[in-house]
Amino acid sequence: MKKSFYMIGVVFLSFLLFFCDDETIGHSPLNYVGTTLGGCNTLSLKSLKVAESEKDTVLFSIRNDTLHVFAGLNYTCCAPFETKATLKGDSILMQIKDKCSNLSSCYCKCMCYYTFDFLFTGFGEGKYNYQIMLNNPRQSGPTVFREGIINIQK
């Protein structure tokens, strides 16, 4: 008797998973692949004299199977950055952290445009909340660089 209930349960669950669409089940599980650094992140001290300032930017694009969240940030030259992203339900939380430990020796006396291309796979159609936090050691705590909603339609 227990085996027949077990088999009926397995068949019923399989039926639900097979016939439900993505919107019924929820978002596909996002995977954070990494961040590609660009702009002043890739310049040497000698080439900083030709670095041009841009407007702070957040752009979204999908290439192949990858969601790109591109952030461009004007910031003090020579800053050492690290990034990370965490995923919570339908929210993408990204961090850009200035990891300077000695404020008097990290920075150059100019402004640069740094770029960060956060890469994600496994996304589905739907709306995702996003927030990009900036951790600046010269401020008392992290600040919100940008936040909003990414609406993905295939």
Amino acid type, 62: I
Query: Across-strand partners of 58?
Result: 71
**Tens digit of pLDDT for each residue in 40-52?**
888 766 655 545 5
- 3-class secondary-structure state, position 6: helix
Residue 60 to residue 128: CA distance in whole angstroms: 12
- For residue 46, what pLDDT is reported? 60
Q: Which residues of 41-77 are buried (b: 16+ CB within 10 A; e: fewer)?
A: bebeeeebeebeeeeeebeeeeeeeebebbbbbebbb
102: helix, strand or coil: coil
Contacts of 80 (CB under 8 A, 6+ apart): 98, 99, 100, 106
- The pTM of this model reads 0.76
Secondary structure letter of residue 9 according to DSSP: H
> Could you tell me which residue, 58 or 14, shows the higher pLDDT?
58
CA distance 151 to 125: 8
The reported pLDDT for the residue numbered 10 is 39
pLDDT digits (tens, 9 = 90+) for 38-92: 988 887 666 555 455 678 999 999 999 999 999 999 999 989 999 999 999 889 9
Instruction: Say which residue the tokens 């939380």 belong to.
Output: 93
User: What pLDDT is recorded for position 104?
Assistant: 79
pLDDT of residue 28: 56
